[in-house]
Amino acid sequence: MTGPAPQPRKPVILTVDDDPAVSRAVARDLRRHYGERYRIVRAESGLDALETINELKLRGETVAVFVADYRMPQMSGIQFLEEAMDVYPMARRVLLTAYADTHAAIDAINVVDLDHYLLKPWDPPEEKLYPVIDALLEAWHATGDRAIPHTKVIGHRWSERSWEVRQFLARNLHSFRAFNADEPKGKQLLDAGGLDEFQLPVVISEQGQILVDPTDAELAAMLGLSTSPSLEMYDLAVIGGGPAGLAAAVYGASEGLKTVLIEETTTGGQAGRSSRIENYLGFPTGVSGAELTTSARRQAERFGAEVITTRKAIKLSAGEAGTARTIEFEDGSTIAARAVILATGVAYRQLQVTGCWDNPDDPACNYVGRGVYYGASVSDASECRGEDVYIVGGANSAGQAAMYMSREARSVTMLVRGPSLEASMSHYLIQQIEKNPTISVRKCTEVVDTLGADDHLTGLILENRQTGQRETVEASRMCCFIGAEPRTDWLKEVVAVDDHGFVLAGPDLLNVAGWTLDRPPHHLETSVPGVFVAGDVRSESAKRVAAAVGEGSMAVMLVHRYLAEA
């Protein structure tokens, strides 16, 4: 006779606090809210907790969240979390602190990649404890406790498309493991699929589906993302899926407008490629760009907005005032909307140095995606393990990338044209860089040429802008953050732009011909009535995530005003 099937073991939430009363209170509050889905385990010292998690590991159990007190004898909470990470690296980490110890919690962010810190007492838990743990459990379930994710990407180290595929998956927070085709595991996977190295990159999904040299649309379909609008007419069309566009989609849909967001690649924009944003309101321990923007996309979808990825808008037809605006895509299909918000953002400016851009006069000498990269994403840290990385630029995005890559790289060298970082980088980030022994900053230095072999980057020629002295250094990875250019080539014949291609709006249109209505343009309204602009693509914008989010939400308010007038 067959007995009942064994029940799956509940994931563990482990708490450790040397104060028995506090330890019992934490466990009580957690058990009350999570006891049906998780097993709550408590320990009263760091050493006891380490012994417990080793036993859990031997029994094949998983730990979802660690909650550790900061001040404990023999072993502090930070020391415990540092050792616990070796056993359960995917578990989320929370530190309990008194108000006087918040500085230690902030320092712990860089030591143990702390996810959150909670001030004691946390009453009421419904407001101060459960929302934090809920968010961490949701993030843990998105990655689970898998050391090797199920989705696999087989590519070539020096293939631009292989790099782009990894970026697409990483920016959508999809877990994957990357293999090079010349590695034993990569070759084994290709052989199992009856493929060879001339068909790279190859993606093998969790369900075993094999995608050979997939397009972004095919990757989006694998991830369950929408790629085609369902309607022909909308109240509001948002073009661009960065923070400004996502905010506009959230507020437009939540306020009852039939809203569609159109994104050329994947949502997030430049912010989505940031390894950690630390100065965004409400995230005291920082948040990765991918986490922030993916959460925003889900929020927009929950309110009913359609989020369409891998579709490029190539033409905007204005028509007469008060009529619908038409958006045309690359395949010739169109949609119409009563109002449009342009949130196309900006692209990283290319370094005008041999090998760093697509030069039609010398197409063979192009190392973009093969050692030269514009921007960086969270997947790049593991890829640069043991390498000497060079980062060009001195603004926040460059500093954030330097901090993130320093975790794995042998060394990180920042190349800054100016005499200091103070003019372009936030003070908190400068302090972190100065304290990081892996990062060095070379000021008044720029890249004047590249060296390559076998179609990939092998070295850089650097020049001191003060002395003119040149130096050749070995380099296989250079990430560039040297400013931005607006994505407005397809819009210049429709809306007014400034001398740099950024879209003019509101008061900036006063001396620009083309405005036809008796009323003045609304604050974020372009030279075409009913077409608004938000975020980095707007002329004289603040170029900050918080500012972009604010403009995206403000633009929706102005859309309502415009629609009421029409």
389 SS3 class:
strand
Residues sharing a CB contact under 8 Å with residue 351, sequence separation 6 or more, in sequence order: 357, 372, 392, 447, 480, 482
Cis check for the bond before 201: say yes or no (omega within 30 of 0).
Answer: yes
Domains belonging to the chain, first-starting first, are 12-143 (3.40.50.2300), 151-218 (3.40.30.10), 233-347+485-565 (3.50.50.60), 372-482 (3.50.50.60)
Residue 483 has a pLDDT of 82
Residue 59 has a pLDDT of 79
| C-alpha–C-alpha distance, residues 561 and 553, integer Å | 13
Query: What angle separates helix 160-171 from helix 289-302, to the nearest 10 degrees?
Result: 60
Residue 270 has a pLDDT of 81
Count of other CB atoms within 10 angstroms of residue 373: 26
Cis check for the bond before 243: say yes or no (omega within 30 of 0).
Answer: no
Per-residue pLDDT of the chain (566 residues; tens, 9 = 90+): 444 444 567 899 999 999 888 889 999 999 999 999 999 999 999 999 999 998 888 777 899 999 999 888 888 888 899 889 888 888 999 888 875 555 555 555 655 677 887 877 777 888 888 988 998 998 888 766 644 446 889 999 888 899 899 888 888 878 788 888 988 888 888 887 888 888 899 998 877 789 999 999 999 999 999 999 999 999 999 999 999 999 999 999 999 999 999 999 989 888 877 777 888 888 887 787 888 888 999 999 999 999 999 999 999 998 765 678 999 999 999 999 999 999 999 988 889 898 887 765 665 678 988 899 988 755 556 678 889 999 999 999 899 889 988 988 999 999 999 999 998 899 999 999 999 999 999 999 999 999 988 789 999 999 999 999 999 999 999 999 988 889 999 998 899 999 999 999 998 887 777 787 888 999 999 999 999 999 999 999 988 899 999 999 999 999 999 999 87
Query: What angle separates helix 20-34 from helix 130-143, to the nearest 10 degrees?
Result: 60
Burial class (CB in 10 A: 0-12, 13-18, 19+), 132: buried
Residues sharing a CB contact under 8 Å with residue 551, sequence separation 6 or more, in sequence order: 244, 247, 524, 534, 535, 538, 541
| DSSP states of 198-230 | GG--EEE-TT--EEES--HHHHHHHTT-B-S-S
| C-alpha–C-alpha distance, residues 156 and 179, integer Å | 8
